[in-house]
Chains A and B, each alone.
Chain A
Amino acid sequence: MLVFKCPYCGIEADETELSPGGEAHLKRFGPGSSDEELEGYLFNRENPKGVHFERWRHVYGCGKWFHAARCTATLEVFGTYSAQTFEPPKEIIDIIKAKRPGWKWRNLS
């Protein structure tokens, strides 16, 4: 069972207390964007086999959305962080780099 520490209420929450919300840090495209941009935003997810950034909601707890970094190939959780950010914070990236040498994600490496 996945266990995440909610960055808001500080509780070590089991997966049953949480609700998955899909890939994190999506750039939203709306009116005025091209067909490719809208298609990419709606459907083309990273779907990595490895490090993945996700949104989760502490639905049976404080109710807040937060971010998590997790490995989809091992289910290892690297850490959680606030929802109020456009990209993962440095300490999370440092943890991932230490555990997954050579890791790349979008413009980060």
Chain B
Amino acid sequence: MKRYSVFAVAREALRYHQGWSRAWKSPEPKKNYDAIIIGAGGHGLATAYYLGKNHGLKNVAILEKGWLGGGNTGRNTTIIRSNYLQDASAAIYEKARSLYETMSQDLNYNVMFSPRGVMMLAQTQHEIRGYKRTAQANALQGVSTEFISPEKVKSLVPIINIDGPRYPVLGALWQSRGGTARHDAVAWGYARACSDMGMDIIQQCEVTGIRHENGQVQGVETSKGSIDCQKLGIVVAGHTGVLADMAGFRMPVEAVALQALVSEPIKPCMDVVVMANTVHGYMSQSDKGEMVIGGGADGYNNYTQRGSFHHVEETVRALIETFPIISRLKMLRWWGGIVDMTGDRSPILSKTPVGNIFINCGWGTGGFKAIPGSGWAMAELMAKGHSSLTEEFSLNRFKEGKFIDESVAAGVAH
């Protein structure tokens, strides 16, 4: 792999940019790997990357049904924050946020991490109390957040209307070190680094079956033939249920559509991320100037990557009240992704009933922000069989009643 640097750019500028090599290789699968990761999205690639980097496991294949980063990694609203209420969540999301800070240097790939600050508006008395509690919890967890006044909100976001009429802004939970990153670059950066370590990223390779004997995984059947493996990681978000079915167990997740949209590009007007959980909407401005808008998930099972129009309408209608400036904007693009929701709205990073099959799923509506932390923890779990970061996210928690209840703490926008 050629390192990217200012000197590389200068060198290539002098020879008509003919010398750039492909960022990652596209090999045919081998017969056998130490570990196979199903799913070349952010979480899958990050898992493979940290398996190699932290645990020296480099005979790894990452199988992808479609194209790399083409699922939820390329469909989210790129928000990064770690202001969660529960200790287990704060630990893994804060690990992820801190890894984002150094990711560009670590991967030698510019992921355009922009710690512009994330604000969650308190628009009801309940939310004020809830977010003050979260701020206190975060202080104990070592996550830097604070509860700020409406005046501070207005000074940080001049385009906001804090007077209502329906939902006035009464304050906000502010995480100044949260922000956004370029989502595709995160997948591409990990892919390039994985490929550089000798791992095989195999795209357009659909897993059609999972082989196991005596409770131990043997390998997978794919559209490119049968591949053996010692360890298998399933990291497929929305299709978790389908893959679990192939392996012969059930997962407590349901697949639903979550949608997002962007406006036409406008001049810079908002340099922080604003989330309004009471009205189900969140918004930030991309580097291109588009307003990136997300809302709540649909309420019914869906695998089609398109959702209900009225949810978009609800989201935009609510945001217009808080941001009157966007009322005349044209919306440019609108898309959906399939997210896997768990009962307590927290992820599952766990061993499974089949030996040496590990699963990383259930990130629901909030997976992008967790990619590096999730990969870090999942790699440790796969390499060592346990990880302090994943312990509480075990599959057993549903049977034992040890939920990590973020559905209350996180409201809707995740």
Interface size class of B (residues with CB under 8 A): 20 to 34
Q: A49 and B308: CB pair below 8 A?
A: no
Interface hits, B153-189 → A, CB 8 Å: none
Interface size class of A (residues with CB under 8 A): 20 to 34
Partner of B399, one of A19, A36, A45: A36
Interface hits, A1-39 → B, CB 8 Å: 1-2, 15-16, 19-20, 23, 35-36, 39
Interface hits, A45-104 → B, CB 8 Å: 45, 47-49, 52, 54, 72-75
Q: A45 and B254: CB pair below 8 A?
A: yes
A42 with B255, Cβ < 8 A, contacts A1-B309, A49-B303, A52-B301 known:
no
A residues in contact with B66, CB < 8 Å: none
A72 with B303, Cβ < 8 A, contacts A42-B343, A44-B250 known:
yes
Q: B255 and A43: CB pair below 8 A?
A: no
Q: A49 and B241: CB pair below 8 A?
A: yes
Partner of A47, one of B241, B308, B398: B241
Q: B309 and A47: CB pair below 8 A?
A: no
How far in angstroms is the closest Cβ of chain B from A101? 19
Q: B399 and A2: CB pair below 8 A?
A: no
A15 with B250, Cβ < 8 A, contacts A42-B398, A43-B398 known:
no
How far in angstroms is the closest Cβ of chain B from A79? 16
B residues in contact with A73, CB < 8 Å: 303-304
Closest to B298 in A: A20
How far in angstroms is the closest Cβ of chain A from B45? 24
Q: A39 and B398: CB pair below 8 A?
A: yes
Interface check B1, CB cutoff 8 A: no
A100 to B398, CA, bound (A): 33
How far in angstroms is the closest Cβ of chain A from B37? 21
Binding site for B on A (CB under 8 A): 1-2, 15-16, 19-20, 23, 35-36, 39-40, 42-45, 47-49, 52, 54, 72-75
